[in-house]
Amino acid sequence: MTFWKPRSVQLKKKLAFAGAGILIAAVTLYLFLPILAVFLRITPERFFQTLQDPNVISALWLSMITTIITLIIVVAVGTPFAYFHSRYSYPGKVIVDTLIDLPLVLPPAVAGVALLMLYGRVGLLGKYFNMVGIQIAFTTLAVIMAQIFVASPFYLRQAKSLFEQIDPAYEQTSRTLGASPVRTLFLVTLPMTTSGLISGAVMTFGRALGEFGATIMFAGNVPGTTQTMPLAVYVGMQGDFYVGLTISILLVIISFAIMIAVRLIQKREEQHA
Amino acid sequence: MLEAVLQKKLRDYSLDLNLTVNSGEIMVLMGMNGSGKSTTLNIIAGLLEPDRASITLNGELICRTDDGIDVAVEDRKIGYVLQNSAVFPHMSVKENVAYGLKARHIAADEIARRVGYWMEHINIADLAEVKAGNLSGGQKQRVALARALAIEPSLLMMDEPFTALDAESTQTVKDLTIKFIRKLSIPCIVVTHRLTDSTEIGDRACVLCHGKKEWEGVPTEMPGFCSVCHCRD
């Protein structure tokens, strides 16, 4: 009996390790195998050949341009918004907090319908724009607006949380030392949040680049005007299979690069903490 | 010399305080948590708006609510050292000390002179290029003191400056504070809740209780009880 107990504990440990190993392997394979399957379905020659397809180039350029514009707008408007939102109390702040998070849980297609109901040709505001000859829905502008709607919460949440975490003592000290509020913002607050803001911006870029549902509902699917990479994948899979596959590989590579960038930024933050 | 009459309604009580601190004198402000010590400093610094106040620093009026006089925080020339020191972690020690001087648009050669002087006298010259985020608690507090003194303040205020420090660092910061307050002949207010701090550094002590002055005098004569609400009985 004296030998049995330790051996039983050892066996239990081995079984626990084996169970954990199987679980980790199963989850990893479940997430990784589909990605691998995309890469294995096409030869490198075919991939580089399809990359020169006008539909691929057009979707790639449109996606890049619209996503970069989206990112610039989100950072330029979102940073001061998050700063003021975290620094001041105002009536309805809780409601604004909820509304910021809403696009995260709202199905993207519903977001597209909502944008269409507001800015569409007969929409709440769209009818007035239409009266003066401005059409928003089904244009490149609509692509950007849809991306901003679904992707901005990633940046706003991150920026808001960063500004809330900064000890007010830093800004107060800066002011007593003779710095104006603007100088304090640019020399103290923003540098102390830069890594986190970049991380939020990278996630926003990734979400905007992959946006599909809201875009197809609000901007449509016109090659060269509103057909972004995810939409081109959808069309490609119904027609030219290799176009869909090639763009999918591009999106996987970009997404992977985004995740590596975020990890590197987080690692840098940890080292400086 | 600082002369302050302050009134502010807070959540549970009203701060109602008359405070005078002479040039070259260290006044220790004591009291339980929430007695109004930090609120007092924040009002004097201009970080918190009083309901009614009159604050004069070296004969110059920096706040009188009745006449609508309220000098901006950045123009009050008050050195303020906080409990966590609040040194800017992304800047080097040298950049921290120079921060207030640059904000005040002082000439570059004068900035270099003052930064060199204070880093040498506060014993942080060997840390000049070190990122402030990598310093120990004691080193950070010395940088905060050098940074506050470099702007040549008319008043120095320190809010619980020794709380996070070990015994050796506490003694160093105390010695430096006493030395430079005497040398610069400016009034100084130190907030603390430790009796030993008050007797070691304070020329005078003022004990606050629920926003009111409970006792004022020489720290060594401070009673061990509270005559107002008996909170220290």
CATH number at residue B186: 3.40.50.300
pLDDT at A158 over 80: yes
Q: Does residue B214 lie in a domain region? A: yes
Mutate to test the interface with B, among A170, A172, A173 (most CBs of B within 10 A): A173
pLDDT of residue A258: 86
- Provide the domain limits for residue B56: 2-86+156-221
- Mean predicted confidence (pLDDT) in B172-180: 88
Q: Are A171 and A179 in contact (CB under 8 A)?
A: no
B150: closest chain A residue by CA: A177
Residue B233 binned pLDDT confidence (cut-offs 50, 70, 90): very low
Q: Does residue B98 lie in a domain region? A: no
Q: Does residue A247 lie in a domain region? A: no
Among A198, A175, A179, CA closest to A265: A198
Name every chain A residue with its beta carbon within 8 A of the beta carbon of B76. Answer: 176
Radius of gyration of chain A measured on its C-alpha atoms: 24
Which value does ipTM take for this structure?
Answer: 0.90
- Min Cα distance B226 → chain A (Å) is 31
Instruction: For chain A, give the mean pLDDT.
Output: 92
Q: Does residue B92 lie in a domain region? A: no
Q: Are A262 and A242 in contact (CB under 8 A)?
A: no
* Residues contacting B17, CB < 8 A, separation 6+: B4, B5, B6, B7, B36, B40, B208, B211, B212, B213
- Provide the domain limits for residue A112: 61-223
What pLDDT, in 10s, does the model give residues A200-234? 999 999 999 999 999 999 999 999 999 999 999 99
pLDDT at B191 over 70: yes
Q: Are B167 and B197 in contact (CB under 8 A)?
A: no
Q: Does residue A8 lie in a domain region? A: no
Q: Taking the CA atoms of B115, B120, B123 and B129 in sequence, report the sign of the dihedral they define.
A: positive
Find the CATH number of the domain harbouring A161. 1.10.3720.10
pLDDT at B148 over 70: yes
What pLDDT, in 10s, does the model give residues B7-28? 999 888 899 999 999 999 999 9
Residue A268 binned pLDDT confidence (cut-offs 50, 70, 90): confident
Q: Where are the alpha helices (DSSP H) in A41-107?
A: 44-51, 54-87, 93-105
Q: Does residue B77 lie in a domain region? A: yes
Q: Does residue A67 lie in a domain region? A: yes
- Min Cα distance A48 → chain B (Å) is 45
Least confident of A177-181, B143-147, B178-182, B228-232: B228-232
Among B174, B189, B186, B177, CA closest to B146: B177
Q: Does residue A211 lie in a domain region? A: yes
Question: Considering all CA atoms of chain B, what is the largest pairwise distance in Å, rounded to the nearest integer?
Answer: 55
Residue B138 binned pLDDT confidence (cut-offs 50, 70, 90): confident
pLDDT of residue B230: 52
Q: Are B35 and B14 in contact (CB under 8 A)?
A: no
Instruction: For chain B, give the mean pLDDT.
Output: 89
A188: closest chain B residue by CA: B88
Total number of domains in chain B: 1
CA distance B180 to B188: 10
Mutate to test the interface with A, among B38, B49, B74 (most CBs of A within 10 A): B74
Residue A261 binned pLDDT confidence (cut-offs 50, 70, 90): confident
Total number of domains in chain A: 1
For residue A224 the two structure tokens come to 């060269």
Chain B interface residues facing chain A, Cβ-Cβ under 8 Å? 42, 45-47, 73-80, 82-84, 86, 88-90, 99-100, 103-104, 133, 144, 147-148, 151
Q: Does residue B231 lie in a domain region? A: no
Name every chain B residue with its beta carbon within 8 A of the beta carbon of A179. Answer: 74, 99-100, 103
- Mean predicted confidence (pLDDT) in A37-60: 92
